[in-house]
């Protein structure tokens, strides 16, 4: 049984993308043919797990505790898989994105408040992409950070250019970007000659996470940087991009199955990239000065013989900067789409993508430029701004997780696809734990 069409929202989520990608409609096509047809939304979501905030926590974790926080990274990605699965289920079964579903249960004042909180979270997400891109441009071309920040306005045109060709091509572009970043870090870790038996030991939980305050704080940062509100909004909408019969229980079940495969495969890729970053930090910078526990510090360290010995070369630093630039630019696409979902769902206002992108980027640039001007556009100060943006996202997260679990546990909304009782208990439990960890992170920050 699928939801009654009369209960569907008046406007489809991301209407220009919704049901725009055809999938095979034969009952039993080859698994890979079906998987490839559904593959793509997971890549767009996975980008959110590889933003500069994740880079900072992974590199710092490796630099300070070598490989011992790999177990935290593993747990964080498993939680992410579970939460993204709930977002997929909401989109496919209910035919609504998370913003539409939450808004339909809120009175107008609360709906506006929820929108404002999530709008701030979208800006914080965009801020990490802006700063990551500006730092990469400085590493590659020695551009002043202020110039790099202003140049990020141009990525509005990049986003529009690719979206004009349809979401399928955007998905392929993002997948290519993820592969490129993965290859870059694979090369750098291979050149670093990591001790892989020690790396594997890092997957075993260590008491240092509890005993050492700095390790605990970094662990909270890794978990807090992994689960982000915009990824859940985005996935609940992108899950509706495939075209199939929404009233056919078999096709709905197929859509759920392959969307979960797509999500989990790409989240594993995101885990591997973050793990490579942590291993890189643990191999090259463990035991060194805290000066290398930053994006700009790592770039310098990769070119400094006193730090990495014979591995030092401009190529190592350039590859690192190129990977950072790619993720900064690609994250612009996902933050644009997530921002549009939030605005349409809560305010029921639709803007052309170029207007939405320009609005988000303008609102983002104002505080970044003001803070940059105040602190003199120093690398360290702007990287601290990335960390501050993660704190904002941590505050917004409970207002996303608890409604997501509640909505997918609703028989009225989900019918026979409602969460199993165990899934609901697990969902509320994870939401409580993550919210508590993020609260600790926020308290530590203050």
CA dist 396 and 408 (Å) reads: 19
Q: Which residue has the higher pLDDT, 65 or 406?
A: 406
Residue 80 pLDDT more than 80?
yes
The greatest distance separating any two alpha carbons of the chain, rounded to the nearest whole angstrom, comes to 68
Q: Is 107 exposed, middle or buried (0-12, 13-18, 19+ CB in 10 A)?
A: exposed
CA dist 367 and 364 (Å) reads: 6
pLDDT score, position 156: 64
For 373, the enclosing helix (H) or strand (E) is: helix 353-375
Which residue pairs, CB below 8 angstroms and at least 24 apart, start in 243-252? 243/19, 243/20, 243/21, 243/22, 243/23, 244/23, 244/25, 245/25, 246/2, 246/5, 246/95, 247/2, 247/5, 248/2, 249/1, 249/2, 250/27, 251/25, 252/2, 252/92, 252/93, 252/417
Q: List the structure tokens of 439.
A: 């609260």
HEC profile for 261-319? Answer: HHHHHHHHHHHHHHHHHHHHHHHHCCCCCHHHCCHHHHHHHCCCHHHHHHHCCHHHHHH
In this prediction, what percent of the chain has a pLDDT beyond 70?
A: 91
| 8 A C-beta contact, residue 68 and residue 416 | no
Q: What is the pLDDT of residues 13-68, one digit of tens each?
A: 777 787 878 888 766 667 888 888 899 999 999 988 888 878 888 888 888 888 98
CA dist 235 and 241 (Å) reads: 10
Q: Which residue has the higher pLDDT, 291 or 168?
A: 168
In sequence order, the 6+-apart residues with CB closer than 8 A to the CB of 36 are: none
Integer distance in angstroms from the first to the last C-alpha of the chain? 49
Residue 160 pLDDT more than 70?
no
Q: Which residue has the higher pLDDT, 307 or 5?
A: 307
pLDDT score, position 12: 79
Q: List the structure tokens of 357.
A: 């992108």
In sequence order, the 6+-apart residues with CB closer than 8 A to the CB of 254 are: 34, 244
In sequence order, the 6+-apart residues with CB closer than 8 A to the CB of 51 are: 125, 128, 129, 132, 225, 327, 331
Residue 246 pLDDT more than 70?
yes
CA dist 238 and 235 (Å) reads: 5
| 8 A C-beta contact, residue 163 and residue 170 | yes
pLDDT band at 445 (very low <50, low <70, confident <90, very high): low
15-24, 50-59, 74-83, 211-220: lowest mean pLDDT where? 211-220
pLDDT score, position 3: 45
Assessment of whether the complete model's pTM goes beyond 0.75: yes
Name the average pLDDT for the chain: 84
- Domains of the chain in sequence order: 5-445 (1.20.1740.10)
In terms of Cα–Cα distance, which of 102, 107, 128 is closest to 399?
102
pLDDT score, position 5: 43
Q: In 13-94, which residue ranges form alpha helices assigned H by DSSP?
A: 31-38, 41-47, 52-65, 70-89
Q: Which residue has the higher pLDDT, 153 or 421?
A: 421
pLDDT band at 329 (very low <50, low <70, confident <90, very high): confident
pLDDT score, position 4: 44
Average pLDDT over residues 241-264: 90
Residue 103 pLDDT more than 90?
yes
CA dist 390 and 147 (Å) reads: 24
Place of tokens 């009952």: 27
pLDDT band at 291 (very low <50, low <70, confident <90, very high): low
Half-sphere exposure of 282 (CA within 13 A, CB side): 24
256-260, 342-346, 371-375: lowest mean pLDDT where? 371-375
Residue 282 pLDDT more than 50?
yes
In this prediction, what percent of the chain has a pLDDT beyond 90?
A: 30
CA dist 426 and 82 (Å) reads: 9
């Amino acid at each position: 049984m699928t939801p009654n069409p009369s209960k569907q929202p008046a406007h489809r989520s991301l209407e220009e993308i919704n049901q725009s990608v055809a999938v095979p409609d034969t009952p039993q096509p080859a698994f890979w043919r079906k998987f490839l047809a559904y593959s793509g939304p997971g890549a767009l979501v996975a980008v959110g797990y590889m933003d500069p905030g994740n880079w900072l926590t992974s590199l710092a974790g490796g630099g300070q505790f070598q490989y011992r926080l790999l177990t935290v990274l593993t747990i964080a990605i498993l939680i992410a898989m579970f939460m993204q699965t709930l977002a997929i289920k909401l989109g496919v079964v209910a035919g609504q994105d998370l913003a539409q579903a939450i808004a339909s249960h809120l009175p107008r004042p609360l709906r506006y408040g929820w929108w404002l909180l999530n709008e701030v979270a979208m800006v914080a997400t965009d801020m990490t992409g802006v700063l990551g891109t500006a730092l990469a441009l400085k590493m590659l071309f020695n551009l002043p950070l202020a110039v790099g920040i202003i140049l990020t306005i141009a990525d509005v045109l990049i986003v529009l250019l690719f979206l004009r060709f349809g979401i399928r091509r955007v998905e392929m572009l993002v997948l290519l970007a993820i592969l490129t970043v993965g290859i870059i870090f694979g090369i750098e870790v291979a050149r670093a000659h990591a001790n892989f038996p020690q790396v594997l030991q890092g997957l075993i939980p260590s008491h240092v996470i509890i005993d050492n305050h700095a390790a605990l704080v970094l662990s909270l940062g890794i978990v807090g940087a992994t689960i982000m509100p915009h990824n859940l909004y985005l996935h609940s909408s992108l899950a509706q991009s495939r075209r199939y019969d929404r009233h056919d229980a078999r096709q709905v079940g197929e859509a759920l199955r392959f969307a979960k495969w797509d999500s989990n495969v790409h989240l594993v890729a995101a885990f591997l990239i973050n793990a490579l970053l942590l291993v890189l930090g643990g191999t090259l910078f463990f035991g060194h000065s805290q000066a290398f526990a930053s994006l700009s510090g790592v770039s310098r360290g990769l070119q400094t013989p006193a730090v990495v010995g014979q591995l030092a070369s401009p190529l190592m630093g350039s590859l690192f900067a190129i990977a950072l630039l790619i993720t900064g630019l690609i994250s612009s696409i996902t933050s644009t789409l997530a921002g549009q979902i939030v605005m349409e769902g809560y305010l029921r206002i639709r803007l052309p993508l170029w207007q939405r992108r320009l609005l988000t980027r303008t609102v983002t640039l104002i505080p970044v430029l003001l803070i940059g001007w105040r602190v003199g556009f120093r690398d360290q100060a702007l990287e601290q701004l990335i960390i501050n943006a993660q704190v904002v996202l941590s505050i917004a997260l409970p207002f996303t997780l608890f409604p997501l679990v509640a909505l997918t546990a609703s028989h009225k909304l989900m019918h026979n696809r409602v969460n199993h009782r165990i899934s609901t208990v697990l969902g509320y439990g994870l939401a409580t734990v993550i919210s508590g960890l993020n609260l600790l992170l926020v308290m530590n920050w203050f």
